[in-house]
Amino acid sequence: MEVREILKKSAHKLHNHNAELRAIRAKLDQTARDDTKFLEYVKEEHLAIQKERKMEEENYWLEDTERNTFAYLSAAVRESHEKQRLQGERSKYLGVIFSFVGSIIGLLGSIIGLLGSMAISRKRRHEKRTLFGDLQKDIGQNSGQLRDLQGLVTDIRTTIDSSQLRDLQGLVTNIWTTIDSSQLRDLLGLVADIRTTIDSSQLKDLQGLVTDIRTTIDSSQLRDLLGLVTDIRTTIDSSQLKNLQGLVTDIRTTIDSSQLKNLQGLVTDIRTTIDSSQLRDLQGLVTDIRTAIDSSGAKSSQEELTVALERFSKQQQEGFDSQERSLTRILKLQEELLLKEIEGVRRFAAVGAGDMTTLEELVNNAEPKLGQKTSTLSTVVYGGLAVLTLSILYRIFKS
């Protein structure tokens, strides 16, 4: 562009110089040859012709320079086009190569992801199989414990029956055969004194009563009374409370805390029913005997005592019947609760034993599907990353 500007300026100067030369020639044609100015015009024409020749040579040189510069420009453009073509071919091959490499990377990534998902699925399958095995063992243990609990309930039923509670009537009959009226008054006085000292631990204080009674009756009656006390203790305490305590200890090892609390409440109700009700009835009997002896005298005391003892026997029979009914009702409720729990555990065990294979099949079918979805997602992600990388590299090589 610079050469063209210089050539343009040179052509403009040459045009102006040609105009001046034509003006000089016009003056020369109008001047006579013998005129003195003719020689000056000839000199000016000669100088103008020389200057024109120099300017033409300079213009020719500028044109030659312009042609050479244009040739160089054309060669540079052709070379640039050739380089661009070669670069396009090279980038095309590089694009194919990088596409192949990206696909290989995506394939390897998907394989690695699939292997990882398969390892995780195998681990989960092993854990679930272990869990199912432990669950089956727990179900077997619970079923054995529930069978033991049914046996314990049956033992409770056979232990607490009405025959042991009715033994107290025979003990009352033995009192009549061993104690006469005068000794009965002394015994009633002792019982009245002891009534103010009896608390919730009646069975423990029974030895003190035996010691006080020993000073008022003879040896034969003492032996009979001691046998009576022994029968009472073995009937009320040993045969019922100790058996129930042993049963509670056995039940505590087989059932949970909620059932243990219920059975403890049952034992407490039985103990309070047997101890407190029988003690109150015995105290009421002693009070009736005492009032009968004090009010009627020695003659009519035998008949009134008989009536009082018969009334006490009836009260004891009614109390024993009510205790038997309450115990039967409590045992039935406990048995119903235990049967419900046994039925629930049996259903759960049936589900665990029958549907265990189905659950394992569902787990085994779900894990390969999860692995396939994971591998597909990883393939798509790696493919997208490969395409993005190739596009960036293509733009870099193209620029």
Same domain, 79 and 184: no
Give me 62's structure tokens. Answer: 């500028």
**Residue ending a domain, choose from 72, 87, 102:** 87
Bigger pLDDT: 6 vs 111 = 111
pTM comes to 0.26
Same domain, 205 and 305: yes
pLDDT band with cut points at 50, 70 and 90 for residue 315: low
Q: What pLDDT, on a 0 to 100 scale, did the predictor assign at position 260?
A: 46
Same domain, 209 and 312: yes
Q: Which helix (H) or strand (E) holds 38?
A: helix 36-159
- Pick the most confident of 46-60, 89-103, 140-154: 46-60
Q: What pLDDT, on a 0 to 100 scale, did the predictor assign at position 198?
A: 46
Q: pLDDT tens for residues 343-374?
A: 665 565 554 444 445 545 554 555 565 556 55
Q: In this structure, is residue 147 part of a structural domain?
A: no
Phi and psi, residue 217, nearest 5°: -120, 160
CA distances from 300 to 16, 163, 165, 296 (A): 181, 34, 31, 6
Give me 41's structure tokens. Answer: 């015009």
Q: In this structure, is residue 177 part of a structural domain?
A: yes
Residues 6+ apart with CB under 8 A from 366: none
Same domain, 178 and 297: yes
88 has pLDDT over 60: yes
Bigger pLDDT: 377 vs 301 = 377
Tell me, what DSSP letter sits at residue 237?
I
Tell me, what DSSP letter sits at residue 160?
S
Q: In this structure, is residue 109 part of a structural domain?
A: no
Same domain, 180 and 72: no
> 24, 39 in Cβ contact below 8 A?
no
Q: pLDDT tens for residues 44-80?
A: 888 988 888 888 888 888 888 888 888 888 999 999 9
Terminal alpha carbon distance of the chain = 27
- Mean pLDDT computed over 302-322: 60
- Mean pLDDT computed over 4-20: 82
Q: Shortest CA distance to 254 belongs to which of 337, 153, 160, 157?
A: 153
Q: In this structure, is residue 277 part of a structural domain?
A: yes
**Residue ending a domain, choose from 314, 330, 354:** 354
Q: Could you give the CA distance from residue 341 to residue 292 in angstroms, rounded to a whole number?
A: 55
27 has pLDDT over 60: yes
Q: What pLDDT, on a 0 to 100 scale, did the predictor assign at position 40?
A: 85
Q: In this structure, is residue 100 part of a structural domain?
A: no
The structural domain count of the chain equals 2
Q: Could you give the CA distance from residue 276 to residue 297 in angstroms, rounded to a whole number?
A: 31
Q: What pLDDT, on a 0 to 100 scale, did the predictor assign at position 182?
A: 53
Kindly report the average pLDDT of the chain as a whole number: 65
Q: What pLDDT, on a 0 to 100 scale, did the predictor assign at position 77?
A: 92
Residue 257 CB neighbour total at 10 angstroms: 8
Q: pLDDT tens for residues 195-240?
A: 555 444 454 554 554 455 445 444 444 455 445 445 544 544 444 4
Same domain, 179 and 322: yes
Same domain, 335 and 204: yes
**Residue ending a domain, choose from 87, 109, 139:** 87
pLDDT band with cut points at 50, 70 and 90 for residue 384: low
Q: In this structure, is residue 101 part of a structural domain?
A: no
86: amino acid identity, one letter: L
- 3-state class percentages of the chain: helix first, strand second, coil last, to nearest 5: 90, 0, 10
Q: In this structure, is residue 106 part of a structural domain?
A: no
Same domain, 237 and 333: yes
Q: Shortest CA distance to 251 belongs to which of 271, 266, 237?
A: 266
Same domain, 171 and 56: no
Same domain, 51 and 189: no
DSSP letters, 256-313, are -HHHHHHHHHHHHHHHHIIIIIHHHHHHHHHHHHHHHHHHHTTTTHHHHHHHHHHHHH
Same domain, 167 and 41: no
Phi and psi, residue 75, nearest 5°: -65, -40
Q: What pLDDT, on a 0 to 100 scale, did the predictor assign at position 60?
A: 85
Same domain, 211 and 328: yes
Give me 352's structure tokens. Answer: 């665990």
Q: In this structure, is residue 112 part of a structural domain?
A: no
Q: Shortest CA distance to 136 belongs to which of 336, 337, 341, 359?
A: 359
Range of the domain at 290: 160-354
